[in-house]
Amino acid sequence: MHSAAKLLHQMGPRHVLVKGGDLPGSCDAVDVFFDGERIHDLSLPHVKTRNTHGTGCTLASCIAAELAKGSPMLPAVQVAKRFVENALDYSKEISIGKGPQGPFDHFLMLNRKVHNFRKKTVLDPSDLFLYAVTDSGMNRKWGRSIEDAVKAAIEGGATIIQLREKDAETRNFLEAAKSCMEVCRPWGIPLLINDRIDIALACDADGVHVGQSDMPVRAARALLGPEKIIRVSCKTPEQAQQAYMDSANYIGSGGIYPTNTKENNPTIGLEGLKTVCLSSKLPVVAIGGIGISNAHAVMELGLPNLK
């Protein structure tokens, strides 16, 4: 499959996806994605079902839909593969038709609440609506643990959590991160680790945040694999464009307003945020100094990728 992907790439396409869902005797459905530089093995458990009619068309259509929404190619393929796998698993017991292949149910997203269906999925831009970032100094001030902070954030409506614990020692941070993963998983809330890719790998977090002075996104992707979420901080159009080319999943842009939680952090204001949003197709989260008094001004920008 690796050889086939490279040979197909030599024929002209910029990206190649070799499907492996029908490989006989395989416990996993392994697709091979090649972008001209790196091979990505995209593996999910093989779903045993006769209801596989239309999987290829659905995969292609879902990739096209994600690209239309502005997703880079690799995340678009990941979302599509996960959607097909979820749909196959959701409808594997359906009995329709008399042929060797039955159709599978595309409406799992509409029906999953009725059937109590919840599986871990790749990043949905709606996950970025209310973004909670922990702060060790504030936790100490309020006399609470990092686990308590995460629980409070989820109870308050947070849709994604980032652990930013600059002062924690590695052993303590790892144990806390594992505990926070146990808090987030039942709710389906993605948990990201700030800067510490080693911690993210050790606790199987959903992804990482990297700044401009941290490990490059491409290097982080090589370590984490194609399934994990990577956020990158961007203040300029050039940084936003690079994030898109490096297959980041989304951008954190700011500080929008001055803040006491991060020293020596130049603000970019609403105009700077607008420039970053217009420079990239990736979803963007506005960060820094945003509260009840000024959140409306940020949302009034009305940019489609400002989540």
Residue positions annotated with a catalytic role: 164, 233, 262
Question: Amino acid identity of 147?
Answer: E
Question: Amino acid identity of 148?
Answer: D
Tell me the DSSP string of 89-131.
HHTTT----SSSS-B--TTHHHHTTTTT-----S--GGGGSSE
Tell me the DSSP string of 218-281.
HHHHHHH-TTSEEEEE--SHHHHHHHHHTT-SEEEEE-SS--SSSTT----HHHHHHHHHHT-S
Q: In what order do the strands lie in the sheet with 39-45?
A: 16-18, 28-34, 39-45
Dihedral sign of CA atoms 139, 140, 146, 148 in order: negative
DSSP 46: P
Q: Do 36 and 11 meet the contact criterion of CB atoms below 8 Å apart?
A: no
